[in-house]
Amino acid sequence: MSAVLVAGLLAGYGIAMPVGAVAAYLVALTARTSPKIGAFAALGVATADGLYALIAVVGGSTITPLIEPVMLPLRWASAAVLIVLALWGGATGIRQYRKRHTVTRTDTRPLTPARAYAALLAITMMNPMTVIYFAALVLGSDIAAAAHHLEQAAFVLAAFAASTSWQLLLVGGGALLGRTLTGSRGRLITTLVSSSLITALATHLVISAS
């Protein structure tokens, strides 16, 4: 059982630690909103990783052939969503900066923890590389052939826990960034920089697939 737990932890950190567009957005979102919003968004990412780990363990060798035909559309969809989020984040930062310099008040719909969770869950679920990563990992080990469902469940839970801990670490970085750059100009600059970074990463996601 301990070997399965270690394998799950390593798998979770292996898929979570590479910093991509989702990680950049998570940090920027926390800096722009609050640690609570960031924590729920982080749980959305970790939930997607856990679900894909579960699919990989249960599906075994049938997963990769099924996902390959739709990999390119999923990449395009994921990139499109990330670019929209980048534009939305930049526009929000500009709007908040301008509101500090005008007497006009514009009420915007607040981002709730539930919406943050659902948004990051959907974005991460559209990443086909996650399911392929877990499928390859499971096929290369004896996890899929484990005699007990308890071992499979332990692998999935360990992967989820590892991903959660890493995403929450990113949230902590975003919260620290938000507290450090308290000025309106500083928040505007970091928002625009993060939006540009997310757009660049999303564009690279599409280019690498073509």
Question: Domain map of the chain by residue range?
Answer: 2-209
Report which listed range, 4-13, 152-161, 195-204, is most confident: 152-161
**Whole-prediction pTM value?**
0.67
Tell me: pLDDT of 37 over 90. yes
Tell me: pLDDT of 41 over 90. yes
pLDDT at 33: 86
CB proximity list for 81: less than 8 A, separation 6 or greater: 122, 123, 126
pLDDT at 75: 67
Considering only CA atoms, which of 161, 156, 169 is closest in space to residue 39?
A: 169
Residues 130-139 have a mean pLDDT of 64
Average pLDDT, the chain: 74
Query: Between these two residues, 187 and 95, which has the higher pLDDT value?
Result: 95
pLDDT in tens, 64-121: 566 667 667 766 776 776 677 678 777 877 777 777 655 444 445 578 999 999 999 9
Instruction: Tell me how far apart the alpha carbons of residues 19 and 118 are, in angstroms, rounded to a whole number.
Output: 20
Distance between first and last Cα of the chain:
42
Q: Which of 8-12, 84-88, 107-111, 168-172 is predicted with the least confidence, judged by mean pLDDT?
A: 107-111
Tell me: pLDDT of 43 over 90. yes
Residues 158-179 have a mean pLDDT of 86
Considering only CA atoms, which of 51, 35, 60 is closest in space to residue 122?
A: 51
Considering only CA atoms, which of 21, 15, 19 is closest in space to residue 134?
A: 15
